[in-house]
Structure 1
Amino acid sequence: MPTRFPKAVLFDLDGTLLDSAPDMLAAVNAMRAARGRPDMALADLRPHVSKGARAMVGAAFDDVDAQQRDGWIPEFLALYQRELGRHGAPFAGVEAMLAALEAQGCVWGIVTNKPEYLAVQLIPLLGWQHRCAVLIGGDTLAARKPDPLPLLVAAQRIDVAPEDCVYVGDDERDIIAARAAGMPSVVALWGYRLAEDDPLAWNGDVLIEDAGELCAAAAWPATP
């Protein structure tokens, strides 16, 4: 078992650090209301949040042609920007986990597929703007997860070798990206998953049920 925290930890954002589904739901339901449709239930949207805007709009309008739905993505993003940080909150245990990392001198940052402009606006609403050492969005670089490039660039920007970083995420592409970057990984089981997702099959290094478990050094995968 590890007896120390990692030198650095990089996190996915939506579904890992932040329960942003309520903000996403407000945006989706504004779109549905504009089209004379009843509200969608939070439970029906939550599993799709980590899959991105296209997946969420697809879940909200599954009877609409995919090409037409894709044309509604800018509308969804504009509505989501309006609702940013108004309804969601960090998952239980996240603030305690971040405090535990900081107390041990561990640097942490965020690598998300959320558009950078939205992530940049959101972080101050959570009070993390002076704590988060690096922030990479889905359009910051030429590639996004599951490509390892965003993780490798984040590690470079905080001057930590990839093998000394741990990546934490709730989606299979997070774990694929971590493996390709040479980073140990944590599967955040508290996040968003579709019914058919099998996190055991992702082959992450550690699977964790609750973010608060990561307040203990022994819960983290070993790093050199």
Structure 2
Amino acid sequence: MRAQAGMSAVLFPKVVLFDLDGTLLDSAPDMLATVNHMRAARGHGPMALEALRPHVSKGSRAMSAAAFPELGGEVSPDMIREFLEVYAQMLGRHSVLFEGVPALLDAIEAAGSRWGIVTNKPEYLARQVLPGLGWEERCAILIGGDTLPQRKPHPLPLLHAAAGLGVEVGDCAYIGDDQRDIDAARAAGMPSVVALWGYRLPGDDPQAWGADALVEAVHDLLEPALWGALR
């Protein structure tokens, strides 16, 4: 298998940290089911996946605003609570791993490295994702958007992850699909990679985010040259 035959422990940092939605998990279909449930409750027709998908990495507020443009971006706390309550019911029903993720995680573990998740999704929801994927014992650390006093783009979640795993920040790398991911990694002094397969708004320019690398597909993370350049 390519992931095992072509990789060795030295090619990965000690810890590879990932964003969740839009990086490991294509959760947009679950999010679509959520907003369409909310829209139906208000007498609106369904929203198209293509219209919601770019907003997924921006969080529940941004998705709610996209689903109800008549609000002009003024999303109430009650609507956010409703979104999270409905999403908890939809969690895992339609989402899938991006192609290549299982092989990548296998390769990281085979190389003797560890991997974890740092997401802005509320921790209780992120933890509910793990059992269905068989990740409860494999994920070395999980930090959600409400785990700490600060969330991305603040560097604290990444600094906390490194400290919690007993490694130096420079011995980690962070992979995400949103500018907040890269901003957090840069502020933490952690090498960063943009996942270009994720969710982006039309005006987003990943080239301008200042990441150490940009990759088009998950399998590109199995290239030895990438990790050599990040060391």
Structure 2 length-normalised TM: 0.93
Question: Structure 1 residue 149 and structure 2 residue 156: aligned?
Answer: yes
Q: Tell me the equivalent position of 2:168.
A: 161
Tell me if the contact between 2:175 and 2:195 (Cα under 8 Å) persists in the aligned partners: yes
Q: 1:66: how far off?
A: 3.9
SS in 2 for 1:167: strand
For 1:220 and 1:26, how far apart are their aligned partners in 2?
Answer: 37
For 2:115 and 2:125, how far apart are their aligned partners in 1?
Answer: 19
Question: Structure 1 residue 28 and structure 2 residue 35: aligned?
Answer: yes
Tell me if the contact between 1:165 and 1:223 (Cα under 8 Å) persists in the aligned partners: no
For 1:221 and 1:117, how far apart are their aligned partners in 2?
Answer: 35
What is the identity percentage for the equivalent residue pairs of Structure 1 and Structure 2? 63
**Deviation >3 Å, runs of 4+:** 65-70, 221-224
Tell me if the contact between 1:163 and 1:184 (Cα under 8 Å) persists in the aligned partners: yes
User: Higher mean Cα deviation, 64-73 or 122-131?
Assistant: 64-73
Q: Note the alpha carbon deviations across 1:53-81, whole angstroms, 9 max, x for none.
A: 00000000011254454431111101100
Tell me if the contact between 1:9 and 1:165 (Cα under 8 Å) persists in the aligned partners: yes
SS in 2 for 1:32: helix
Structure 1 length-normalised TM: 0.96
Which one-letter code corresponds to 1:108 in the other structure? Answer: W
Tell me if the contact between 2:150 and 2:157 (Cα under 8 Å) persists in the aligned partners: yes
* 1:1-224 equivalence runs, <5 A: 4-220=11-227, 222=229, 224=231
Q: 1:213: how far off?
A: 1.3
Tell me if the contact between 2:169 and 2:189 (Cα under 8 Å) persists in the aligned partners: yes
Q: What is the alpha-carbon root mean square deviation over aligned residues? A: 1.5
For 1:82 and 1:221, how far apart are their aligned partners in 2?
Answer: 42
Tell me if the contact between 1:186 and 1:205 (Cα under 8 Å) persists in the aligned partners: yes
Q: Which runs of 5+ in 1 are unaligned?
A: none
Structure 1 residues 221 and 26: alpha-carbon distance in aligned structure 2, compared to 1, 3 A threshold: farther
For 1:221 and 1:15, how far apart are their aligned partners in 2?
Answer: 25
SS in 1 for 2:69: coil
SS in 2 for 1:207: strand
Q: Note the alpha carbon deviations across 1:155-212, whole angstroms, 9 max, x for none.
A: 1111110011000000001001001111000000000000000000001001000011
Which one-letter code corresponds to 1:71 in the other structure? Answer: D
Structure 1 residues 62 and 109: alpha-carbon distance in aligned structure 2, compared to 1, 3 A threshold: same
Count of residues in Structure 1 that have an aligned counterpart in Structure 2: 223
For 2:134 and 2:50, how far apart are their aligned partners in 1?
Answer: 27
Which one-letter code corresponds to 1:81 in the other structure? Answer: A
Q: Which runs of 5+ in 2 are unaligned?
A: 1-7
For 1:89 and 1:152, how far apart are their aligned partners in 2?
Answer: 29
Which one-letter code corresponds to 1:72 in the other structure? Answer: M
